[in-house]
């Protein structure tokens, strides 16, 4: 039959069970977590792709020095067995150390031909997408974006930039710096902002891996800079007190001086799970962290803010400010500010982009603000 290049097919054998017992978002998160780690374990000579339905494909990248003889040597059974054992051992050690969702996965790993890998991908897509053509296209595009995000994490192309929450009366007084993510694309200066990839991750229910990664980065920065205070965005999907956060909870418990300088911002783009968000925030409060409701007045933020117990900070969405400015009155804007003040000790107005907006916020008696007029996101911490 002749020589054929082979690829690695990794299947979560209990994917249907995880979906049935824990829900599709959880099962998708298992797949995304495996995608991130397998890519890191295999290294730059391989590309790892999600095939959907709990399946991943690992394909060797062609190189100029990759002759047919070398390729055939790589496909020797003994060499392949060593490679598979290395991947499985790396996954096992990582799952044990990180307590991630993928530790619940039962894996089946096989070497297959490229044709068989394509058939597995087609079968997963056919089984997974029984919705309208638009929904099928959207889901496939979302998976591609999710794969790119976790590849960027593995290649250290995800950067943090910082934008301060400032005092509207004294612009040099800073409450904390919010950590914002950017993904570098290629060798140039092009970057992707959260609005270009967060919606896809939330539709797939795989935000928790990214949130946990950014949280670790922020904690490391707080350990390095003992005079810094940082805010980290956490999707409503991620606000669950469970094993996903075990290592982070332990780290914060060991370093109370870090926890006291960390603000957890619950974002508005996804609804929190009933009761889970309250428990998550209570746990973070116990550790010494501050809790903020982000983008209050838009999306699910109002609902999330009312569900969570005693947030320390409420950040009013920029759209509320814009509507107030257009109306020229404080009525609707003041109502939102009043509701926020009833719920939290500190109120922040987001999206201040002009002197007019800054003065409008000051006139409403709001002490804290955030926006490009005073400070755009920068790569260095301002403390």
List pLDDT tens digits, range 126-173.
455 445 554 555 666 777 788 788 788 888 899 999 999 999 999 999
169 and 115 in a common domain: no
In a domain, 274, yes or no: yes
Give long-range contacts, CB 8 A cutoff, 24+ apart: 154-159.
154/36, 154/39, 154/40, 157/183, 157/184, 157/185, 158/182, 158/183, 158/184, 158/213, 159/183, 159/184, 159/191, 159/379
Give the per-residue pLDDT at 331: 67
211 and 83 in a common domain: no
299 and 200 in a common domain: yes
Q: Pairing mode, if any, of strands 55-60 and 290-296?
A: unpaired
Angle (CA) 31-36-37 rounded to 5° is: 100
In a domain, 43, yes or no: yes
216 and 123 in a common domain: no
In a domain, 325, yes or no: yes
In a domain, 150, yes or no: no
Q: Within 107-188, where are the H helices?
A: 114-128, 133-154
211 and 72 in a common domain: no
What CATH number corresponds to the domain at position 173? 3.20.20.450
Between 120 and 111, the higher pLDDT residue: 111
Domain boundary among the residues 77, 111, 128 is at 128
What CATH number corresponds to the domain at position 114? 3.30.70
- C-alpha pair distances (Å), 311 with each of 30, 71, 274, 286: 30, 58, 16, 13
In a domain, 363, yes or no: yes
**Is 214 within 8 Å of 246 (Cβ atoms)?**
no
Give the per-residue pLDDT at 59: 84
Q: Pairing mode, if any, of strands 191-192 and 230-234?
A: unpaired
**Mean per-residue pLDDT of the chain:** 80
pLDDT category of residue 354 using cuts at 50, 70 and 90:
very high
230 and 161 in a common domain: yes
In a domain, 378, yes or no: no
**Is 308 within 8 Å of 281 (Cβ atoms)?**
yes
In a domain, 380, yes or no: no
The residue assigned the tokens 């982000």 is: 294
211 and 103 in a common domain: no
In a domain, 199, yes or no: yes
The residue-averaged pLDDT of 32-36 equals 85
299 and 242 in a common domain: yes
Q: H or E segment at 313?
A: strand 313-316
Between 37 and 366, the higher pLDDT residue: 366
Q: What is the pTM of this model?
A: 0.68
Give the per-residue pLDDT at 148: 83
115 and 16 in a common domain: yes
160 and 118 in a common domain: no
247 and 121 in a common domain: no
Percent of the chain scoring above 70 in pLDDT: 76
Q: How many domains does the chain contain in total?
A: 2
Structural domain harbouring 16: 6-128
Choose among 325, 365, 328, 369: nearest CA to 351. Answer: 369
Give the per-residue pLDDT at 64: 44
300 and 163 in a common domain: yes
């Amino acid at each position: 039959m002749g020589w054929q290049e082979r690829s690695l097919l990794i299947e979560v054998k209990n994917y249907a069970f995880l979906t049935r017992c824990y829900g599709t978002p959880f099962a998708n998160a298992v797949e995304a977590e495996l995608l991130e780690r397998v890519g890191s374990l295999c290294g730059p000579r391989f590309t790892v792709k999600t095939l959907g339905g709990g399946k991943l494909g690992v394909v060797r990248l062609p190189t100029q020095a990759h002759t047919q003889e070398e390729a055939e040597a790589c496909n020797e059974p003994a060499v392949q067995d060593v490679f598979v054992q290395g991947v499985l051992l790396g996954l096992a050690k990582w799952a044990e150390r990180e307590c991630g969702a993928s530790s619940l996965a039962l894996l089946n790993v096989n070497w297959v031909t490229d044709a068989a890998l394509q058939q597995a991908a087609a079968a997963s897509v056919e089984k997974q997408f029984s919705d309208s053509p638009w929904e099928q296209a959207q889901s496939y595009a979302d998976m591609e974006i999710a794969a790119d995000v976790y590849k960027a994490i593995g290649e250290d192309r995800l950067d943090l930039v910082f934008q301060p929450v400032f005092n509207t009366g004294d612009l040099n007084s800073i409450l904390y710096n919010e950590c914002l993510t950017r993904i570098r694309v290629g060798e140039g200066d092009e970057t992707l902002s959260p609005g270009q990839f967060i919606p896809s991750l939330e539709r797939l229910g795989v935000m928790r891996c990214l949130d946990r990664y950014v949280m670790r980065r922020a904690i490391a920065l707080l350990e390095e800079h003992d005079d810094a205070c940082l805010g980290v965005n956490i999707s409503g999907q991620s606000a669950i007190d469970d094993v996903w956060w075990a290592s982070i909870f332990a780290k914060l418990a060991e370093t109370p001086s870090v926890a006291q300088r960390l603000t957890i911002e619950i974002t508005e783009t996804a609804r929190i799970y009933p009761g889970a968000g309250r428990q998550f925030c209570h746990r973070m409060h116990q550790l010494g962290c501050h809790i903020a409701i982000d983008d209050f007045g838009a999306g699910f933020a109002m609902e999330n803010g009312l569900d969570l117990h005693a947030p320390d900070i409420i950040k009013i969405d920029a759209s509320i400010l814009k509507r107030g400015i257009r109306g020229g009155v404080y009525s609707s804007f003041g109502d939102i500010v009043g509701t926020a003040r009833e719920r939290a000790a500190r109120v922040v107005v987001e999206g201040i982009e002009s002197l007019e907006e800054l003065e409008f916020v000051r006139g409403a008696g709001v002490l804290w603000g955030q926006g490009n007029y005073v400070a755009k996101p920068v790569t260095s911490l301002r403390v």
